[in-house]
Amino acid sequence: MKICPMPKNILTKELEQQNQSIDNTLCEHFPITRKELKKLIKGTHLRTWEAILAEHGYGEGCDHCHKVVTLVLQRLRNPSPKTASIKDPIEAFIARSNKWGRYMITPRLPGGEITAEQLRVLGEVSTEFKLTPKINLGQHIDLFGAKLEDLPQIWKTLIAVGFESGHTNGRSLGMVQTCLGEKWCGHALKDSTGLAIRLEHRYKGLLAPAKLKGAVSGCTTECAGALHKDFGVVATEKGWNLFIGGKGGIKPHPGVLLVRNVQEEVLIHSLDRFLLLYMHDAKKGMKPYAWLKQFDGGIRALQDLIQQKHSNVPATVEAKMKQYIDSTSCDWQKILEDPQHLSYFQPQIIDSKVTSAFE
């Protein structure tokens, strides 16, 4: 039986104090640690769950090792859903369901910007399919109450006017929140909206250990709440400040300053480095705040690592981030082009009492 992360950390610490240890191997099918598995996959040409199990595993595998191998493949290579052998196609297709079996649709709106045509189509889709629109705190517009079999047609209509699927339920970038910026606000020092749009498009395809949220504020009034995001950017008179590891919730904590008063390109290179380090070092479910607390050497060591040779960022860092960016595409666009994926979205029998609640 697997132990949840927090109790497991407590148990591990207690056992270490008693000079005992806990078994960190994945399962009986892969008697190695997660870190060892990741290193093994990284150094091999194998790209599918079946091939890795046959070459390095034992037996038929289980749900746990299948999920871990699939996640490692996705994080190292950003493959297509077919290559990754994802078991849950509905979850992979960005369609979060509620307790009534209906689905939420969240088109991505970088910077919170939307055209008049897109706004009109959202209204028409909501009326035609009897959906409930709601503006959420992430500067997106959610559409609630969609039937499973209606999802392809809804997304086909939305994509036709320039929408793309937002990552609402995966370990990826949810949004980069922003304020009005210098275009519409007299207090703003810089174009925070433009930078937020650039960052969201750049990082929207990353598969991280946990869901990520970012923000960009156009001045130190900090209207976008950048200090309490996983990464946040604040404009200054001299450039941009980058904060990392912020968190909200019941025990909020502001992020720590990583780089100060840098220009936009240096900021992006610094953020690239931070995200790549976090993605390849943090454990599943670990947010940047928790990862930073256990980072060897703390924020000082991370700053030294990030700030080395700003003007000459190593080609490997740029190449790795470019690989992630180039592999990014709209999930629903791929679904609509694949008959096999479309077959998952078949009519479902829903209880009449539940159905009547949406009529």
pLDDT (tens place) for every residue of the chain, 359 residues total: 444 455 666 666 676 677 776 677 888 888 888 888 888 887 787 778 888 888 888 888 887 888 788 777 766 655 444 443 333 444 444 556 665 668 889 999 999 999 999 999 999 999 999 999 999 888 889 999 998 889 999 999 999 999 998 766 667 888 999 999 999 999 999 999 999 999 999 998 788 888 999 999 999 999 999 999 999 999 999 999 999 999 988 889 999 999 999 999 999 999 999 998 898 888 888 999 999 998 888 888 888 888 775 444 455 667 778 887 877 778 888 888 888 878 777 765 444 433 444 44
Contact (CB, 8 A) for 104 and 140: no
**Residue range(s) of every CATH 3.90.480.10 domain in the chain:** 92-165+330-345
Q: Looking at the domain that runs over 173-326, which CATH code has it been given?
A: 3.30.413.10
**Residue range(s) of every CATH 3.30.413.10 domain in the chain:** 173-326
Give the bridge partners for 134, in sequence order: 142
Q: Which residues of 175-211 are buried (b: 16+ CB within 10 A; e: fewer)?
A: bbbbbbbbeebeebbbbbbbbbbbbbbbbbbbbbbbb
Greatest extent of the chain over all pairs of C-alpha atoms, in Å: 65
309: three-class secondary structure by DSSP: coil
Lookup: tokens for 304: 């030294």
CA angle 96, 102, 105 (to 5 degrees): 50
Helices (H), the chain: 5-17, 34-42, 49-56, 63-77, 81-84, 89-92, 116-128, 151-160, 192-203, 264-281, 288-294, 298-307, 315-326, 331-336, 339-342, 352-358
Contact (CB, 8 A) for 269 and 310: yes
Q: Looking at the domain that runs over 92-165+330-345, which CATH code has it been given?
A: 3.90.480.10
